[in-house]
Structure 1
């Protein structure tokens, strides 16, 4: 028995749901696919509503925007079955036996399948987001593609004080680890299909770093759970924070130009994140 849960906002979710529905229908199990749109006024909503015509599927538009954490909790709480598969709207199974692969590990409490990038390299200004998936997200655990027991999820939910983008998955998986819940990692990739401009991604990144500061200062996330905070602590130890902030302010326009180019640098993006975080810390 499987509940597939997909939060959505202003996105054409029908291709993903159709693929998942086809896969799960081929298996001898009870299932449901729940898609909740977080109150977007989207041109895709009419198309997405056709999901309700598929057996075992439900597409619902929320009346109010509740944020990335709360909508995941709502989906998990509403789910009918014990096995919960969370996926993001902008992902797509890499394999035709994606669902079957997960179900072969259904005795585990939490299973993470992994995220990978699309094979085709996008043009600027979309390349930065693609490159970040390729160089960073494939190496980390995120909430875009994982299976969890509902009994575990009900006791370990997303932090609903986070209403904006960023780090809600980090604090969620850190909470599981803190509660000694093992996360089994398998190669059951979901392809990240995000078509996002560099400027939009940088804006979201800054919001995420504001969340990180809130989490650490509120003791909701241990400092050693963030590599970025470790670099900040090192810079502070050697009295380099003011230098990093000065360099960040001086180079910011050039960095943004690089991020929008055909050859964006992930190393420069790492510096941008450190510089912005140091700037946030100096304003406290």
Structure 2
């Protein structure tokens, strides 16, 4: 019936697994929960080892790092059931009927996405950039996600048929952070896979600091540009790529790339501060891809 796949890196996922196991048992379904730490060598794995004592659950700490895309692929290869539920290790289940809701909505669809939420209050000032972008840009209701079903798909809290996933998989040749969801969702759009967006979110538990998120943002933008330059994604699929393509075509990208270094530190000062602006974040992203 259901294989729940949890990629882990330096995080205690035991509470998450315990809640998911309880809900699966309450639903009376055949299930397995597979957790795989990507060679983090974290002290938190001492807690994660307790997962192996839970019925239908397993935890494995890899000796060699695979990177997050291949870690997900590896989990899918190990899964024995026809439906795969991908949940990031830092997720928090906030509804008692989380598993039941997914199961009730999987019929006649290849993919079911439940959504993700960020906490109402930011945990600290130095996490505010990631929190703001998540809460005000990424967190969308099912109704809004259905307007652009493929572009609104994030591969956390995503239930997908195994035979569908095997047709796309994550691009194991890319090692940098970012836009693996975008690339895989684009592949699903080419296959015209049937996507169902439902209101069944998990909460994002481990929110990056401003500095870490800026580093990840740069990597993600580099990945996005390489996807564009290698023609592995359609220009119309991503708004930022549409803008970048327009700036290149109108030869505006060159002056922006020359101006960006003059203002970069000023932009970063705001983005690293206690009250980062999402408008300035967008300006930074456009300047960075042009540079």
Short-chain TM bin: over 0.9
Report Cα offsets for 1:145-170 as digits up to 9, x if no partner: 10011111122211111122111110
Q: Is the 8 A contact 1:198 1:260 kept in 2?
A: yes
**Unaligned residue ranges in structure 2 (runs of 5+):** 141-151
Deviation at 1:253, TM superposition (A): 1.4
| Selected match of 1:205 from 217, 222, 233 | 217
Deviation at 1:42, TM superposition (A): 0.7
Q: TM-score, normalised by structure 1?
A: 0.94
CA distance in 2, matches of 1:232, 1:216: 10
CA distance in 2, matches of 1:113, 1:190: 8
Equivalent residues, number: 279
Counterpart position of 1:118: 119
Cα distance change on mapping 1:233 and 1:19 into 2, 3 Å: same
| Selected match of 1:247 from 259, 263, 271 | 259
Deviation at 1:215, TM superposition (A): 1.4
CA distance in 2, matches of 1:25, 1:63: 31
Deviation at 1:240, TM superposition (A): 2.1
Deviation at 1:10, TM superposition (A): 0.9
Q: Is the 8 A contact 2:235 2:245 kept in 1?
A: no
Q: Secondary structure at the match of 1:136?
A: helix
Counterpart position of 1:282: none
CA distance in 1, matches of 2:120, 2:217: 24
Q: RMSD in angstroms over aligned alpha carbons?
A: 1.3
Please state if 1:226 is matched with 2:227: no
Q: Secondary structure at the match of 2:41?
A: coil
Task: Show structure 1 runs of 4+ deviating over 3 A.
Answer: none
CA distance in 1, matches of 2:280, 2:271: 8
Q: Secondary structure at the match of 1:19?
A: helix
Counterpart position of 2:281: 269
Mapping for residues 80-159 of structure 1, pairs under 5 Å: 80-107=80-107, 108-139=109-140, 140-159=152-171
Q: Secondary structure at the match of 1:26?
A: helix
Q: TM-score, normalised by structure 2?
A: 0.92
Report Cα offsets for 1:182-228 as digits up to 9, x if no partner: 21111111111123111111111111111112212222111222211
**Unaligned residue ranges in structure 1 (runs of 5+):** 280-284
